[in-house]
Chains A and B, each alone.
Chain A
Amino acid sequence: MLSRRDFLKLVIKGAIMGNFCELIAPSLAQSVVAGEVKKLPVVMIETGTCTGDSISLDNIWTPTFSDILSNIVDWRYDWSMMQTQGASAYKVLQETYEKMPNEYILIVQGSMIQRDNGHYNHVVFDNGKLITGLELVRRMGLKAKYVVAIGSCATFGGPVAGYPNPTQATGVQNILPERRVINVSGCPAHPDWIMGTLLHLALYGEPELEKFGRPKLFYAETVHNRCPRRRDYDQGIFATDIGQKQCLFRVGCKGPVTYADCPIRRWNDHLNWPIGCNTPCIGCTEPGYPDLMSPFTAHLPDIPFPGGTKVSTDAIGLGVLGLTSVALVGHAATALYNGRLQKNLLKASVKAPNRPSVKKVKTIHQYKLKKNMK
């Protein structure tokens, strides 16, 4: 069996080579055969979702989803795939809950809809009673070995929780405070992120998580830091409209505040990704998505929050919006101070004396100057 250190190496290697799961899956399949690891029992509950994460997971390149079903995962309950329907489908869920406590992994896809006690979203029919998504996720979640939230909706509320949030949607962690929820965010989440997290759970248990509960394996670096157009940014060469080949920072790219490994992992056959498609990153893995990232295709500080000046109800949201703007502007300002942007942007030739060093602040996504340095 792989050691944890080997696993982490494979994550990086796999991201670059584009075959992460192929590298890791055979050893897992061997482990399953050898009896070291059991086939993972997984139940998937869909709540307020577009089912995009299921589709994204079907798109996994290596191993194929067929391999995963046959060799790695015991995909017990998933209403978009099960052969039976109605009561006999629900029975599977109920049996898993009763006979395999602390053994199954609960995957939640979709936001938790809270308005009117969750009655805007029903998911199963139990003895003449409709059960809300909220209730089912809480019931299943308390007895699961791990709870994994996939997609932006399940992790932080996502597009369903966009202003004015008509259904009071929120992420799974908020309705399940007793437990740690592993957040695999993204709109949709990359199949490698979902499968990699599940494989880590199968082989070594819980992966190391960052402050928003996302596995550091995949969410440790900003898109901006690994972006192939970073050179353009550093030299101040900016696109003036979407569809151009330069750095898209000025047309709304949220790469500097977005933590994900899209630039090296890429999507669908590891072929392309949003910035590769000459469109800005819209920050879909971040807790602030989509409101703090709107408008997607315009530079953030220029345009106010949806709802215009009447946003009295969302003062807090505005505050955070301010932070995101400050983070983006701050980042540009820092780059200016560093002398990286000045060549083209300011057309100045004077180098700043005593370059201030930059440190990353942990609590908000922002670069800040150290105070006591000039």
Chain B
Amino acid sequence: MSVVNYDFRNEVLKHNASLSYCYQCSTCSGGCPVALLTNGKYNPRKIIEEAILGLKDKLVESQDPNPWLCSTCQKCVELCPQKVELTEIFTLIKNLCFEEQKYPEAFYSQGKAVYDTGVAIPYSNSIVARRKKLGLPEIKIASVEEIQTLMKETNFEKNILRGNE
């Protein structure tokens, strides 16, 4: 049994009021390449429906449908006749999944790499050598201290990284 979570519903609505414009026409799912490939197992309309109803246990706990299967192609947003900002709403749901430690591992690795080095792909010695050989300039990336200061301010370190250690 799914339980309506009004706090959750209000939080999503507060962040993005366009949610309330949805009348469940399914244009989003009709244009979604992942819905097509998974025979509707991934289904953007259903995610929006569950958000409208405030079914946090479905969206965050059991992840049915799995919001991480969105390829971020942004077709649904373009197609929606009601201008529902679907991908912004999906981003919010995924942010909430992250706070509750429900996410594919690769996302954590990227967040940690950026926190530790400032970039998603740190420069290996062989790449530095290859760049030199190709005649490319040396890259001076961000001060890690500045990046970490910002990521502490936004609570990234506290909410996202700490919970995983």
- The answer to whether A and B belong to the same complex is no
Chain B contacts to A: CB under 8 angstroms = none
Chain A contacts to B: CB under 8 angstroms = none
